[in-house]
Structure 1
């Protein structure tokens, strides 16, 4: 096998050459799935500020009815907020059971409003000022802390390529689970690659990588399903669309229930500049598909759901006013979701303000009142009992804001 063919095959495959530890996850171990919505979803449609008359004024075409009993009205969560009706059968039941919470006015202080710059900035999880290590993502640092000493938390990025958030000093496996049965490397090539590394420094990692790939394939074959989803937009960076997320979520649930304690997946297609829709339409469809997938993940986790936390974020929100194309443009503050059997949910948490024209950031966006590193740091510290020193390694210079969600 020629070197060029080898490199091409490796680039096209989902083989996790740098494998994390392999083990069967104990049922009592905390599990964390991190879901990144690439493209900047419209948080003001997900969590509608029902107490704001300003909302209806600036969203004449894409606004959702803030009250009412029909299926197109928001689902009231409290006196200030309501949930998009597309999530009535998936996320709302979790909220009603106290297994879902939302953090509005969340995000980063990065003001670039660029998909790629903001995604990179968030995935690094490092201070905006000063020197940054461009190869150290915050989930890699979290995994490093969790695997110190005698601890062992198997970590997997359920993506075709290792995202920035999972890159760093710890070797972490990645395997896309949408086309796992169609590996670019067959059995003969696998043996050739293994022989190439025999007796070399990477021999163990290569062997473990093939083991991970084969385990994932075997488990996915048992589900007897196919995923033919293709990417929709550049801003999504190879993340699958919501259309394919339901199947992928079940596959991830099966793997995390049996084996992995820390996982990452990204979902693309959230850049809604044109014809976004309101209670129905393009965005509503995406919400429904995403919600159905997350509910399917919860179902697939079985009893392990009781110790699981799912965090859903996006790089930024969108403009509060609709634009001339009945869509929304790149914004600032957004809404984070926190789901799981381990979550103290059924509430809207974090610092909040009334949604009025005078409270908008730069007269256009939700402000960021709950900075993401502090918010996630507080959650991680509570989940894993991190010491101040350990938290500082994950998010340097941050004092975690404990919102009491776990």
Structure 2
């Protein structure tokens, strides 16, 4: 954790936090879009869920009006809605939700607590995970030069008067092992690692010792074969996890979402969590399979998060984003490659959701970006600026301190 000592280690600090939380709950007012909360009142909550590895949005939402979608994806396309409990769910005349996400997300959609923003993303065209992730988290635009000590959530915290040193309800905390780039900057911020699901098991040195112990015995060949299989699996996982930069898997988020929600309900105003494993170049699957499993886990995590937030869910906005999208057509290994535009999720108890937000176009060979990807029509910086203008009542001058030279895009979701 980058801010020491731990927020929970000092008994006096814990007592003060409880008192501050109680005071903040008693004095909270409805969220207004016309003014900024004044310290020390509790702030509305914002959580960014960042999917590292570039998730395939067309595995979540099928553009049912595009025949190109079905011809381009012989093994990964989602079937058109047929009214069955196991099929995709029509959200409107153009889009259908993947069966794996329906049980968790359909109730949120119907309650208008979920919206999707298709054709979203950044102007970065590198198709590099690392390049685009850095560009996204810094949020400094496409001009020359970067300041790696100025992430956009840190700049937002400075405008709001939030930090890791503020009372409960105004704290800034990343639920990550290290401080993410978006939290870097002059404003004090902190990170708190969640359970490390990737650190379980024995390392390679220990594996070699175990093999030596059983060498020459009846169990020796079985032990060696077992560890060789493990090495092959870990090699494959390692290739995928490079783009994930140590982020937890989707299954980890499902397990930890309640804990994140509890911390945000009690203390955290601005939060961040990253989830890895979305780089599906091969054997992606369609309605079932690798991607569908991850989407189900992520969706169930969102429900757990909303429940843990309790009444604070009404004052919370959650944005799910990824560094870029994936190719509209599947590749020769039944997966998808690095693309451009994607689909963001926006969730919250006070949301004006239940709709596909932002500019849209029909997906045809002529409208695809470079003939291969969903285009970007809603820039993430403009979209976030528009959300925060409504959620926190930020003025154009204040928004310019977070995202310079970026007019706010008001999707009227808050």
**TM-score computed with the length of structure 1 as normaliser:** 0.81
- The 3-state SS of whatever aligns with 1:33 is strand
Q: Find out whether 1:254 has 2:262 as its counterpart.
A: yes
| Cα distance in 2 between the residues matched to 1:79 and 1:378 | 26
User: What displacement does 1:177 show?
Assistant: 2.0
Corresponding residue to 1:77 among 91, 104, 126? 91
Q: Find out whether 1:170 has 2:170 as its counterpart.
A: no
| Cα distance in 1 between the residues matched to 2:359 and 2:109 | 19
Q: Find out whether 1:395 has 2:392 as its counterpart.
A: no
User: What displacement does 1:248 show?
Assistant: 1.2
Change (3 A) 1:168 1:18: farther
Change (3 A) 1:315 1:55: same
**TM-score computed with the length of structure 2 as normaliser:** 0.80
| Cα distance in 1 between the residues matched to 2:88 and 2:325 | 19
For residues 63-95 of structure 1, the C-alpha deviation after alignment (integer angstroms, 9 at most, x for no partner) is 110221234432100001111111111111100
- Structure 1 equivalent of residue 176 of structure 2: 159
Q: Find out whether 1:110 has 2:118 as its counterpart.
A: no
| Cα distance in 2 between the residues matched to 1:140 and 1:342 | 25
Q: Find out whether 1:24 has 2:21 as its counterpart.
A: yes
Does structure 1 retain, via aligned residues, the 8 Å contact 2:55–2:326? yes
| Cα distance in 2 between the residues matched to 1:148 and 1:336 | 25
- Structure 2 equivalent of residue 343 of structure 1: 351
User: What displacement does 1:131 show?
Assistant: 3.1
Q: Which runs of 5+ in 2 are unaligned?
A: 8-12, 29-42, 200-236
- The 3-state SS of whatever aligns with 2:188 is coil
User: What displacement does 1:387 show?
Assistant: 1.1
- Structure 2 equivalent of residue 192 of structure 1: none
Equivalent residues, number: 345
- Structure 2 equivalent of residue 363 of structure 1: 371
| Cα distance in 2 between the residues matched to 1:355 and 1:271 | 23
Once the two structures are superposed, the pairs formed by residues 20-169 of structure 1 within 5 Å of their partners are: 23-24=20-21, 26-27=24-25, 28=28, 29-147=43-161, 153-169=170-186
For residues 302-354 of structure 1, the C-alpha deviation after alignment (integer angstroms, 9 at most, x for no partner) is 11111111100000000000000000000000000000102110000101000
| Cα distance in 2 between the residues matched to 1:179 and 1:131 | 34
| Cα distance in 2 between the residues matched to 1:381 and 1:267 | 27
Does structure 1 retain, via aligned residues, the 8 Å contact 2:2–2:179? no
- The 3-state SS of whatever aligns with 2:100 is helix
Does structure 2 retain, via aligned residues, the 8 Å contact 1:49–1:81? yes
- Structure 2 equivalent of residue 218 of structure 1: none
Does structure 2 retain, via aligned residues, the 8 Å contact 1:19–1:173? no
Corresponding residue to 1:302 among 302, 310, 314? 310
Q: Which runs of 5+ in 1 are unaligned?
A: 1-13, 183-229
What is the alpha-carbon root mean square deviation over aligned residues?
2.2
User: What displacement does 1:55 show?
Assistant: 0.6
| Cα distance in 1 between the residues matched to 2:254 and 2:317 | 18
User: What displacement does 1:148 show?
Assistant: 7.0
Does structure 2 retain, via aligned residues, the 8 Å contact 1:143–1:153? no
| Cα distance in 1 between the residues matched to 2:374 and 2:162 | 39
| Cα distance in 1 between the residues matched to 2:64 and 2:266 | 41
Corresponding residue to 1:273 among 245, 265, 281? 281
